[in-house]
Structure 1
Amino acid sequence: MSSCDFYEELLEKFKDIVKKNNLLNEEINIKGRILTTEEAIGNPVRRDYPIIKGREKLIQAEFKGEKGQAFTDMPGGFSGTILEIINKPINTNFDRAVLIATLNAVCKYLKIIDRSVHCKDEEPEGCAKKLVEYIKENYGNPKIALIGLQPAMLERLSQNFNIRVVDLDKGKIGKIKFGVEVENAEEKTEDVLNWCDIIMATGSTVANDTIRKFFNEKPVIFFGTTIAGAAKLMNLHRFCPCSD
């Protein structure tokens, strides 16, 4: 599936859901804003999470009391009706993140999804422990491609599996984290995908238009809140046990 096909299908499915629930023409504003680090992840002991030190920020849409989120490297506030947001052309990562956050908030309101708000404090550490158990139970001892440096996951996975990690953040590329070199995602992703048995990919790939790279014959597990709605609507495998 191409990138264009993926987003066209996702948008059509979202439109159908909104129409069936009589929300398309309802004059209800979606309000979005950039979350502070504390709002997004609380106060974990570990301070090397991308949300704290990285270039991406978490934006949050609110709809009828429910919240949907999206990581993006082009954060900003926004407001509009569902119809306006659906009809807005997707020209930038900001536009894409607004749509994804809105989709997540609406799907949470309609109870199509749960766990749409980022886990906080020490919950990411608990998530990483559960991930190791989940992979051992379902995949044995695979070689893992980690798409997007999530430090708690990398630390736990590197202690239990053979793993390679790629990232787009130039400040991380080439660094050694828990005995694993962070490789350049723009140059090494194809090689890493050919090498691995399973793919662990950050859900923010759905907001930065790189998700198409991971539709192949190998098992793909997406993690995080950004991909909550898209994973449900597009039948993608998501692991995110500790989010709210």
Structure 2
Amino acid sequence: MAEFIMLKNLAVLLLISFLGMQTAHAEEELPIYSGVGGNFSAVNQDGKTIEFNDFKGQPILLTFGYTNCADICPFTLGYLSRIYAGLTKDEQKKINVVFVTVDPEYDTPEHLKKFMAHFNSEFIGLSGTKPQIDNIVSLFQAKYKKLSAENMVPTKNIRQVTQKTLTDESNTQEDKSSLYSHTVTIYLIDKSGFTRSIEYTGTPQEEFVGKIRGLINE
């Protein structure tokens, strides 16, 4: 009788262990967000025309913003810098972090390159024509809106309140740049180009890094 009880308890423990493993596996497997994302063309911070499909084979972290954003964009890129730093050097080489501007008129490749370098020189900034940007925004079901003329502000004033002092020639000019409201989500895209997770800066670093590693190892 005692032997039977022991065997029964062992069977229960094995079942619990198996179910736990299955649950953990299910939690780690990310779904595919159908209809979110797709191929597009744009211009990178080096002035080179690229296709989104050029990034296939490596997971991508993609977000929208613009270089004259006073708070949200620097905060998001700072967060992504911390996520990136949480990966090993080898893992860092296996992903791409992409920042798509919603202000292509002001955000030339030159501006983007300087801006991205303040966070991580490995990050990729993308610009292009307004139709190109509108297409990318639409593909990812994102939104952006140029604010009214009353919100036009001197560029040099914005740059003084960003996360880091972004000193360049525009600090001495009175050129003006628009303000925008825009989607602030971070799209986690797999090696095949499918969106697998939509994150925010509130996602715990360890959790986000774990999802990235999962896609690297797929």
TM-score, structure 1 length as denominator?
0.22
Larger Rg: 2
| TM-score normalised over the length of structure 2 | 0.24
Higher RCO (Cα < 8 Å, 6 or more apart): 2
